[in-house]
Amino acid sequence: MASSHEEVTLLGAIASAFACRVKIALKLKGVKYKYVEENLRNKSELLLKSNPVHKKIPVFIHNEKPIAESLVIVEYIDETWKNNPILPSDLTKDPWLVSGPNSLMTSILGENNNFGIVDVARESVFTVDEKEREKNVTETYEGLQFLENELKDKKFFGGEEVGLVDIAGVYIAFWVPFIQEIAGLKLLTSEKFPKLYKWSQEFVNHPVVKESLPPRDP
């Protein structure tokens, strides 16, 4: 539970979708924090000390207690600061709000973080072989279709307000459009995935989310 005196630090990188998740959660809660931009080629002693096993960002440090893994951090923030809940109080009304982030992560990253939307979308950019490229695009479509089906007719995955599943999906809403622009592909479009595309626009233009995203221009 939050106390009157808080020491809150986030170790991240500007281009990291995972660090962006934590920034959105902190912004939603109105939590003031110190942000430390990490050079991932020359990691700081604080990062190595705070996440000695994986040595990855983001790392959230609350009153000297380090926490790793973006969704674990977001849930911790929601449990610690009770205002503007990210998860609803009654999860029995929609069990997918509990399992959704994990399902979304599997769709984005694949089983055991291996070859999901992230990788197949990237492969679509860099693969020269046309057959392989088509295969990667097809697999990306399958992942996006899964999310299209789960969204149904809701504004956000959690309903009318941004929730945990939406925050987990920031990569799709913000970074996938970059990838398709670079590659000249049509991955997430209003024609192919009307509900998911509308969600992505609502999400990235939400005032809190918009302030937490990196600039589009270099």
> CATH code for 91-212?
1.20.1050.10
How far lies 115's CA from each of 15, 82, 120, in Å? 20, 35, 6
Q: Has residue 121 got a pLDDT over 70?
A: no
CATH 3.40.30.10 domain locations along the chain: 8-80
| Amino acid identity, position 204 | V
Which pLDDT does position 112 carry in this prediction?
39
Average confidence score pLDDT of the chain: 83
Going 36 to 40 to 44 to 46, the CA torsion angle's sign is positive
202: Cβ–Cβ under 8 A, 6 or more apart, which residues?
Answer: 155, 156
CA-to-CA distance for 17 and 21, rounded, in angstroms? 6
Average pLDDT score over residue span 93-122: 52
For 65-98, what is each residue's pLDDT tens digit? Answer: 999 999 899 999 999 999 999 987 665 555 555 5
**In three state form, how does the secondary structure of 47-65 look?**
HHHHCCCCCCCCEEEECCE
Q: Which residues pair with 34 in a beta bridge?
A: 9
> CATH code for 8-80?
3.40.30.10
For 34-67, what is each residue's pLDDT tens digit? Answer: 999 999 999 999 999 999 999 999 999 999 999 9
pLDDT grade, residue 109 (50/70/90)? Answer: very low
Which pLDDT does position 69 carry in this prediction?
93
Which pLDDT does position 113 carry in this prediction?
40
Q: Please identify which residue in the block is written with the tokens 């999400």.
A: 203
Three-class secondary structure of residue 114 per DSSP? coil
Average pLDDT score over residue span 12-18: 93
CATH 1.20.1050.10 domain locations along the chain: 91-212
Q: Has residue 3 got a pLDDT over 70?
A: no
Three-class secondary structure of residue 14 per DSSP? coil
Token pair of 62 as six digits: 């609350």
